[in-house]
């Protein structure tokens, strides 16, 4: 192609605003082409799933087009890039989100209508990408959306698990786990990059060698596995920028071990090689306990090593030395799961790129930042030294070297304070020696962030107290946020249109603070009526969903009171259920005249328990047993229902949240680092019943306590009660409710005994006894407010109006300016 022709081609593309056209006729053709040629089905006989696939592939083309443009543009501009390392990304579905962010939703709706398909039905065909457990993983997904939308030159890196988070199946009220083989029907949202692959090494020995006049450490690995890239384009909203989430899959290495193939045992040699794939096969389903398993450590190193190689390769493409590395690269560790990246960067720079230790150390200290999501020291990740030493012998040496310099620094600063030294050391001594991954991260990272203001206080005063005394300047917080694109625009289109109408602009979808403008209309009767109508439509959708999932018919006139999140003792679903039993018991004992005044409730609980978490599983069973009793009691009718929604995931949340009136976030104060579910409910105008914990404290600041139902002990009160070892006397209402459970009112009394014991005889660590009365008061206040629909609607509007701070756009803006030092890099349209 001659220069002149090349110029012509470029001009031609510019005129077309890209290669692909987005008018409904072109879209129809593309969908049908994909059905015929990609899915290989006849275009004359298409079912919904095939139509979904055809559509998804046509959207994918458009994503790829922008993805290319963005990457080219970044390459040309060479800005400082952010690399976001996370072992978990909870993406959910992609179709709706993609067409909205690409700005082609209306055109697709037209195209599908003309083809005779309903967009809603096609969207339902897609399964969730559930490559994560809970809040931490969904946070990474929300942050990717904000990074793209705000034009930041960012990349995400993670693992492409073949099995995502288990599916929860309920049999006779008990949770059972089933594998989530989510790739069964193909995944149109990823692009396999067979040519982007790296060798990742494990095991072996380290030898001392004399090379080029220097003593060097040479790692002779014992096993090599190939990491192959799968790219997932992440489109920004209102921008051409489409960034990349690169997930690694493990494949057998291309290097053959001639010996095992030479012995003639050809079949076994192949089977052995195939085992490499197990590294990326399954997501660990515990969201906060670390068992020191070899496979988990392999996963961590595998994804870190491939990512670091990729980042260094990209940098070296346009730089001949590492002088500017720290000006071009920022690496963010989402919790300590990827913290081996620190060690890997140092290893590569020293052993392979032959930088001095000092140079490598300075680079590492400049580029890494770390966010912790944990509130208790026991929650911090530890890796047994023996395990790490056998899997990654050279890395263990580097960790010891880092720890040696660090402890020397400590001695200079604090003298021979052995208690302090042993608390702060990266190596934990004891029967089993462990590496404290958080200590390693704090020692090297220039910035350590908590996820809410209250969380930072806990870090400073408890979890990382010693480190805070040493380096106060390192510690900050960036309160978490959620993306309004997925959590309103995609999941609540009715509310989205209403907000846009009343603000007179849709600019709030990128500039979320504009939501504040709703405050000036809060008294407007017309808005209130429209607001209620939209919420009612969402409730009816939820009613239909509940019937489809559980066979239960519930009334949309009732207050929908929802608690959906992972099941944990500290999140206190048990408090909720015991409160429901109390309500049930009260209604049973009421006279008819009193019953008339009861506000009907549909209580909805959903969430998964980690497979080995017995207490959490008992809570799920209790919920079912109580539900069975209440829901079948003719005496109660529509006054109270308890529904457990099985297999809670992102798509379920998208449906449930817009249809809820009240949502509960009732962790024992001091236990929730932030909490992000609350923010999704808040922006959707659902009122919060919450304890003063994590980010709730900041929500109170934004919308005022008078627009919420706050209960329970405060963080400092919990700390005091625990210090004093006080076991407060249990309130009578609670004793009565527990007696009902113990006496077998809901059956299974033996099975539920440990739940009752945890409150009555095992010290009530989570303070259900203390908080029960104020919890009931908050519930009563919610009832009272609900009766007056006008007041309720105003509170709801004010919740949405005041939710702007809790957008991940704000979080990412703060990280960009204060932690990563990156600037927007906007690809021209």
User: Residue numbers of the site for ligand GL7 (CB under 6 A)?
Assistant: 133-136, 139, 287-288, 373, 451, 480, 672-676, 694
477 vs 770, beta carbon nearer ligand GL7: 477
Q: Which is nearer to ligand GL7, 672 or 771 (CB)?
A: 672
For 233, left (φ over 0), alpha (ψ -120 to 50), or beta? beta
**Distances, alpha carbon 226 to alpha carbons 44, 424, 428, in Å:** 42, 36, 33
Q: 147-166 as b/e, with b when 16 or more CB fall inside 10 Å?
A: bbbbbbbbbbbbbbbbbbbb
The Cβ of residue 464 has, within 10 Å, a number of other Cβ atoms equal to 25
DSSP summary character for residue 807: B
Nearer of residues 287 and 654 to ligand GL7, judged by Cβ: 287
Min CB(372)–ligand GL7 separation in Å: 9
Query: Which token pair is 705?
Result: 């306590």
The minimum distance between CB 335 and ligand GL7, in angstroms, equals: 7
- Shortest spacing between CB 452 and ligand GL7, in angstroms: 8
Q: Which is nearer to ligand GL7, 385 or 679 (CB)?
A: 679
Token pair for residue 403? Answer: 């720890």
Report the nearest approach of ligand GL7 to the CB of residue 580 (Å): 24
Residue in 138, 477, 566, 583 annotated catalytic: 566
Taking the C-alpha atoms of residue 552 and residue 544, their distance in angstroms, rounded to an integer, is 9
CB of 441 to ligand GL7, least distance (A): 15
Nearer to ligand GL7, 361 or 681 (CB): 681
Helix segments in 632-787, DSSP class H: 650-656, 677-683, 696-703, 715-724, 732-742, 749-760, 768-787
Least CB distance from residue 694 to ligand GL7, whole Å? 6
In angstroms, what is the minimal distance from the CB of 621 to ligand GL7?
23
* Nearest residue (beta carbon) to ligand GL7: 135
Shorter beta-carbon distance to ligand GL7: residue 136 or 580: 136
Integer Rg of the chain from CA? 28
Could you tell me which residues are beta bridge partners of residue 564? 606
As a 3-state breakdown, the chain gives helix, strand, coil percent values, each rounded to 5, of 55, 15, 30
Cβ proximity of 632 and 549 under 8 Å: no
Which of 62, 167, 373, 805 is catalytic? The answer is 373
676 is catalytic: yes
The residue annotated as part of the active site, out of 565, 568, 665, 794, is: 565
Nearer to ligand GL7 by Cβ, of 437 and 581: the residue is 437
195, containing H or E segment: strand 191-202
Under 8 Å between Cβ of 73 and 116: no
Q: Active-site residue 680, yes or no?
A: yes
Pair type for strands 81-85 and 475-477: unpaired
- The helix (run of H) or strand (run of E) holding residue 242 is strand 242-252
- DSSP track, 453-508: HHHHHHIIIIITHHHHHH-GGGEEE----B-HIIIIIIT-HHHHHHHHHHHT-SGG
Cβ closest to ligand GL7, residue 549 vs residue 719: 719
Q: Which of residues 54 and 694 has its CB atom nearest to ligand GL7 in the complex? A: 694
Q: Which strands make up the sheet holding 475-477, listed edge to edge?
A: 191-202, 223-235, 242-252, 154-159, 81-85, 329-334, 368-371, 447-450, 475-477
Minimum CB separation from ligand GL7 for residue 676, in Å?
A: 5
730: Cα separation from own chain's centroid? 36
* Dihedral sign from CA coordinates of 720, 726, 727, 732: negative
Please count the CA atoms within 13 angstroms of the CA of 662 that sit on its side-chain side.
Answer: 29
Q: What is d(CA 301, CA 307) in angstroms, rounded to the nearest whole number?
A: 10
Q: For the CB of residue 86, give the shortest distance to ligand GL7 in the complex, in Å.
A: 11
Q: Which residue has the tokens 């993805």?
A: 67
Count CB-CB contacts under 10 A for residue 45: 8
CB 775, min distance to ligand GL7, A: 20
State the sign of the Cα–Cα–Cα–Cα dihedral 513, 517, 522, 524. negative
Alpha-carbon torsion (445, 451, 454, 455), positive or negative: negative
The distance of closest approach from Cβ of residue 139 to ligand GL7 in the complex, given in angstroms and rounded to an integer, is: 4
How far is Cα 603 from Cα 563, in angstroms, rounded to an integer? 8
The active-site residue out of 242, 676, 696, 811 is 676
Q: Closest approach of Cβ 78 to ligand GL7, in Å? A: 32
Confirm whether 629 is a catalytic residue. no
Instruction: Using the minimum distance from each CB to ligand GL7, give the nearer residue, 360 or 451.
Output: 451
Residue closer to ligand GL7 by CB (options 187, 449) is 449
Cα 187–chain centre separation: 20
Question: Across-strand partners of 728?
Answer: none
571 is a catalytic site residue: yes
Torsion region of 669: left, alpha or beta (phi above 0 gives left; psi -120 to 50 gives alpha): beta
**Set 680, 770, 805, 810: catalytic member:** 680
**CB-nearer residue toward ligand GL7: 136 or 639:** 136
Q: What are phi and psi of 728, to 5 degrees?
A: -60, 150
Nearer to ligand GL7, 83 or 284 (CB): 284
Cβ 671 to ligand GL7 shortest distance, Å: 8
In sequence order, the 6+-apart residues with CB closer than 8 A to the CB of 438 are: 336, 339, 372, 374, 380, 381, 464
Q: How far apart are CA 742 and CA 771, in angstroms?
A: 21
The set of catalytic residues is 373, 565-566, 571, 676, 680
């Amino acid at each position: 192609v001659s220069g002149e022709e090349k110029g012509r081609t470029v001009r031609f593309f510019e005129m077309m605003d890209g290669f692909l056209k987005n008018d409904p006729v072109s879209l129809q053709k593309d969908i049908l082409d994909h059905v015929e040629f990609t899915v290989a089905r006849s275009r004359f006989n298409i079912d919904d799933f095939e139509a979904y696939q055809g559509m998804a592939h046509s959207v994918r083309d458009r994503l790829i087009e922008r993805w290319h443009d963005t990457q080219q543009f970044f390459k040309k501009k060479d800005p400082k890039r952010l690399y976001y390392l996370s072992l978990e990304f909870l993406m959910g579905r992609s179709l709706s989100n993609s067409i909205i962010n690409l700005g082609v939703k209306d055109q697709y709706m037209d195209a599908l209508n003309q083809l005779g398909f309903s967009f809603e039905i096609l969207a339902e065909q897609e399964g969730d990408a559930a490559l994560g457990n809970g809040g931490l993983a969904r946070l990474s997904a929300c942050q990717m959306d904000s990074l793209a939308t705000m034009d930041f030159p960012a990349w995400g890196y993670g693992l492409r698990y073949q099995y995502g988070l288990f599916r929860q199946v309920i049999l006779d009220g008990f949770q059972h786990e089933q594998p989530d083989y989510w790739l069964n029907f193909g995944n149109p949202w990823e692009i396999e990059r067979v040519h982007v692959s790296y060798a990742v090494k494990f095991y072996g020995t380290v030898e001392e060698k004399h090379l080029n006049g220097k003593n060097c450490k040479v790692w002779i690995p014992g096993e090599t596995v190939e990491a192959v890239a799968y790219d997932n384009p992440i489109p920004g909203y209102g921008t051409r920028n489409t960034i990349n989430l690169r997930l690694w899959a493990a494949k057998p290495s291309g290097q053959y071990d001639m010996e095992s193939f030479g012995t003639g045992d050809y079949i076994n040699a192949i089977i052995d090689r195939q085992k490499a794939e197990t590294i990326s096969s399954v997501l660990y389903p515990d969201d906060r306990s670390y068992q020191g398993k070899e496979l988990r450590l392999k996963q961590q190193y595998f994804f870190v090593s491939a990512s670091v190689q990729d980042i260094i390769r990209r940098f070296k493409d346009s730089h001949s030395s590492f002088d500017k590395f720290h000006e071009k690269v920022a690496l963010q560790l989402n919790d300590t799961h990827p913290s081996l990246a620190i060690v890997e960067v140092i290893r590569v720079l020293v052993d392979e790129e032959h930088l001095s230790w000092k140079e490598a150390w300075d680079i590492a200290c400049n580029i890494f930042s770390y966010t912790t999501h944990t509130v208790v020291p026991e929650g911090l990740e530890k890796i047994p030294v023996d395990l790490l030493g056998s899997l990654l012998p050279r890395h263990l040496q580097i960790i010891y070297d880092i720890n040696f310099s660090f402890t020397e620094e400590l001695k200079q600063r604090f003298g021979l304070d052995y208690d302090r030294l042993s608390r702060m050391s990266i190596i934990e001594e004891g029967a089993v020696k462990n590496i404290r991954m958080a200590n390693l991260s704090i020692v090297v990272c220039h910035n350590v962030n908590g996820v809410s203001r209250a969380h930072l206080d806990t870090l400073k005063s408890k979890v990382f107290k010693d480190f805070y005394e040493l380096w106060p300047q390192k510690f900050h917080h960036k309160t978490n946020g959620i993306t309004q694109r997925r959590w309103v625009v995609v999941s609540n289109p009715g509310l989205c249109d209403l907000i846009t109408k009343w603000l007179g602009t849709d600019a709030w979808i990128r500039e979320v603070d504009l939501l504040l403008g709703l405050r000036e209309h809060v008294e407007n009767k017309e808005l209130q009526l429209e607001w209620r109508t939209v919420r009612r439509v969402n409730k009816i959708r939820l009613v239909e969903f509940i019937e489809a999932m559980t066979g239960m018919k519930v009334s949309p006139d009732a207050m929908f009171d929802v608690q959906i999140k992972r099941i944990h003792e500290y999140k206190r679903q048990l408090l909720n259920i015991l409160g429901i039993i109390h309500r049930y018991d009260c209604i049973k004992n009421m006279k008819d005249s009193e019953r008339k005044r009861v506000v009907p409730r549909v209580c909805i609980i959903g969430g998964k328990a980690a497979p080995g978490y017995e207490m959490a599983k008992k809570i799920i069973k209790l919920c079912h047993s109580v539900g069975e009793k209440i829901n079948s009691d003719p005496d109660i009718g529509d006054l109270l229902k308890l529904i457990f929604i099985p297999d809670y995931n992102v798509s379920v949340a998208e449906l449930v949240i817009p249809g809820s009136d009240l949502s509960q976030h009732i962790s024992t104060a001091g236990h929730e680092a932030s909490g992000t579910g609350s923010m999704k409910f808040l922006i959707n105008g659902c009122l919060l019943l919450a304890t003063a914990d994590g980010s709730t404290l900041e929500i109170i600041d934004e919308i005022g306590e008078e627009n919420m139902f706050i209960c329970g002990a405060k963080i400092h009160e919990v700390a005091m009660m625990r210090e004093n070892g006080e076991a407060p006397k249990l309130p009578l209402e609670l004793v009565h409710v527990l007696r009902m459970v113990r006496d077998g009112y809901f059956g299974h009394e033996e099975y539920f005994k440990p739940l009752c014991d945890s409150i009555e005889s095992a010290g009530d660590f989570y303070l259900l006894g203390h908080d029960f009365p104020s919890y009931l008061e908050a519930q009563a206040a919610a009832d009272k407010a609900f009766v007056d629909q006008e007041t309720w609607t105003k509170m709801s509007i004010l919740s949405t109006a005041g939710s702007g701070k809790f957008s991940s756009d704000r979080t990412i803006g703060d990280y960009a300016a204060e932690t990563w030092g990156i600037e927007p890099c906007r690809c021209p349209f």
